[in-house]
């Protein structure tokens, strides 16, 4: 018991030190306003000025520098926020997009110790050799080249020591900061940040688990096993743990090495189409997609196929989201603003705060602006940026899966353009999406879904009496509370408060005037008149002070 209390106290002290460090870094970078908004300013009596060595930097640049200094959790937070152009202004998005996930390498002695703990005995003996010099070193783990005894070249990704503890501590601090922002700031009043924080925490913990990353890669490998244009490396499950991931070594030509691709006679246009087709199949068939498709995660093979690596960050979208997203894209192609708005509502883009008339008007402008252009001349990045701008202007909060997907669409288009400057993402993807839509709504697919729906309906019908009885029982025991969320009454409530305050003030002033008037008319013994005169003056001063204090309090509270 004593040991448990001691560990808790040590953990609390460590969390306090980390909180103070975070506040200090924010202050040193001139981000006092962010420290104030997140409730962290109280952890420092004073903040220093801009710590940029005399450089003149914007607020967005300072935020990027501070996140880079604070390590893995904040680097990942910045990368996640860089996808939320619906929540943050463009200059902040642009700066956070520059965050690089790199870190000094861990000494190989530490790496060897982790390997010996996680792959004991025969498992570690499966390796003929392991290269001590890392191929890459990031904030979560680092990668080493190795060779199995059967001659298979592999890479080993090893998680950095202490990173899980650091992330857990930072996530707890961030949760407290989000609670403060949610309650005390206009941003918290306009947006629901708690689900965003919960999703970020879940995604980051998934990245820390290499077993999960291996499962993602295997799922993708199975899904594209029949596509000879795509190669997903095999994961060696027997040599994989939560801290160690062993998979086939991927060689090949860098995606951006256009000169070498041309020398080998590999069609860059065909590669761009393969990359985009890969992404579209992931989104609209699997509902499971690679969420970090930057050029470093793709390697071109000599036969023109595409190898894809690094499945630590993946996105998932439900079948319902797939359906509405596909319909929204086709509505945009048809220039049907009303249908586009309906599909966006179904996707959860327009929440309770949305002025639907104004929102639909902006969507109609968007469709008309681009509808007159040939689809060949349209850029996916331009259209998605405009959608983000509309969401930001209307204070709409996009579902996280949709915000992540729109970012990946931009990155996929960038991949295609890096290979072929004449590649047009929307021109190529529209017929692919239509083909996928026809497959989704084919008679066989509809019959299959109808059969599944019939089974589910039958199960629900058989189970309904029991569920209804359980629900009524909870009502009878008082276990169910009904929450009434009124909307549109805020302005009326504020006006009523103002009227009530004015009425109270008028009554107090009237009472003071009457009391002082009565006091002034009372005849006193001549010897007491000087004392009464002073009491009258004091009462008058107190009344004035009381009235001024009420006015000041009303002005301060806005009520």
What are the residue numbers of the active site? 292
The single-letter DSSP state of residue 41 is G
For the chain, count helices (H), then strands (E): 21, 11
Measured in whole angstroms, the distance separating CA 19 from the mean position of its chain's CA atoms is 22
Separation of alpha carbons 453 and 442, rounded Å: 16
Which helix (H) or strand (E) element contains residue 363? helix 356-371
Q: What are phi and psi of 37, to 5 degrees?
A: -70, -25
- At 198 the three-state DSSP class reads helix
Residue keyed to tokens 């790199």: 102
Separation of alpha carbons 39 and 17, rounded Å: 15
Separation of alpha carbons 289 and 300, rounded Å: 19
Q: What are phi and psi of 118, to 5 degrees?
A: -90, -25
Q: What is each CA distance from 530 to 297, 497, 536, 541, in whole angstroms?
A: 93, 43, 10, 17
- At 211 the three-state DSSP class reads helix
Separation of alpha carbons 187 and 31, rounded Å: 17
Cα separation of the two ends of the chain = 51
Cβ atoms of residues 462 and 310 within 8 Å: no
């Amino acid at each position: 018991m004593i040991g448990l209390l001691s560990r808790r106290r040590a953990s609390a002290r460590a969390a306090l030190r980390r909180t103070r460090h975070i506040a200090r870094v924010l202050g040193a970078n001139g981000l006092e306003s962010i420290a104030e908004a997140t409730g962290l300013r109280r952890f420092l009596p004073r903040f220093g000025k801009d710590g940029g060595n005399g450089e003149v930097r914007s607020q967005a640049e300072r935020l990027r520098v501070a996140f880079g200094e604070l390590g893995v959790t904040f680097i990942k937070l910045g990368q996640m926020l860089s996808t939320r152009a619906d929540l943050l202004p463009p200059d902040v998005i642009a700066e956070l997009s520059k965050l690089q996930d790199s870190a000094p390498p861990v000494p190989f002695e530490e790496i060897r110790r982790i390997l010996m703990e996680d792959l004991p005995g025969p498992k570690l003996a499966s390796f003929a050799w392991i290269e001590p010099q890392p191929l890459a070193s990031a904030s979560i783990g680092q990668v080493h080249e190795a060779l199995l005894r059967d001659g298979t070249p592999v890479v080993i990704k090893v998680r950095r020591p202490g990173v899980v503890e650091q992330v857990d501590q930072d996530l707890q601090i961030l949760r407290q900061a989000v609670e403060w922002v949610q309650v005390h700031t206009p941003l918290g009043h306009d947006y629901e940040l708690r689900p965003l924080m919960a999703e970020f925490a879940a995604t980051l913990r998934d990245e820390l688990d290499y077993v999960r990353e291996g499962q993602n890669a295997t799922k993708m490998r199975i899904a594209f096993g029949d596509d000879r244009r795509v190669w997903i490396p095999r994961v060696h499950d027997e040599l994989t743990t939560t801290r160690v991931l062993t998979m086939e070594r991927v060689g090949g030509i860098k995606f951006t090495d256009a000169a070498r691709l041309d020398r080998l006679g590999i069609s860059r246009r065909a590669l761009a189409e393969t990359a985009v087709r890969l992404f579209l199949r992931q989104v609209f068939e699997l509902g499971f997609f690679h969420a970090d498709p930057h050029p470093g995660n793709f390697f071109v093979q000599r036969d023109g196929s595409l190898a894809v690596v690094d499945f630590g960050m993946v996105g998932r979208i439900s079948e319902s989201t797939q359906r509405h997203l596909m319909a929204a894209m086709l509505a945009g192609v048809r220039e049907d603003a009303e249908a586009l708005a309906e599909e966006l509502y179904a996707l959860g883009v327009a929440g309770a705060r949305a002025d639907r008339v104004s929102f639909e008007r902006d969507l109609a402008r968007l469709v008309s602006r681009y509808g007159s252009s040939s689809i060949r001349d349209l850029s996916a990045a331009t259209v998605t940026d405009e959608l983000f701008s509309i969401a930001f202007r209307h204070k709409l909060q996009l579902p996280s899966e949709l915000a992540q997907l729109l970012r990946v669409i931009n990155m996929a288009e960038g991949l295609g353009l890096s290979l072929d400057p004449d590649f047009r993402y929307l021109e190529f993807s529209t017929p692919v999406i239509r083909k996928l839509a026809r497959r989704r709504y084919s008679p066989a697919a509809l019959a299959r879904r109808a059969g599944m729906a019939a089974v589910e309906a039958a199960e629900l019908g058989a189970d309904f009496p029991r569920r209804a009885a359980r629900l009524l029982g909870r009502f009878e025991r008082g276990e169910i509370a009904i929450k009434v969320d009124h909307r549109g009454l805020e302005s009326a409530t504020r006006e009523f408060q103002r009227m009530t305050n004015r009425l109270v003030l008028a009554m107090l002033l009237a009472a003071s005037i009457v009391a002082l008037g009565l006091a002034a008319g009372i005849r006193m013994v001549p010897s007491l008149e000087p004392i009464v005169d002073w009491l009258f003056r004091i009462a008058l001063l107190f009344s004035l002070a009381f009235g001024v204090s009420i006015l000041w309090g009303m002005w301060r509270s806005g009520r």
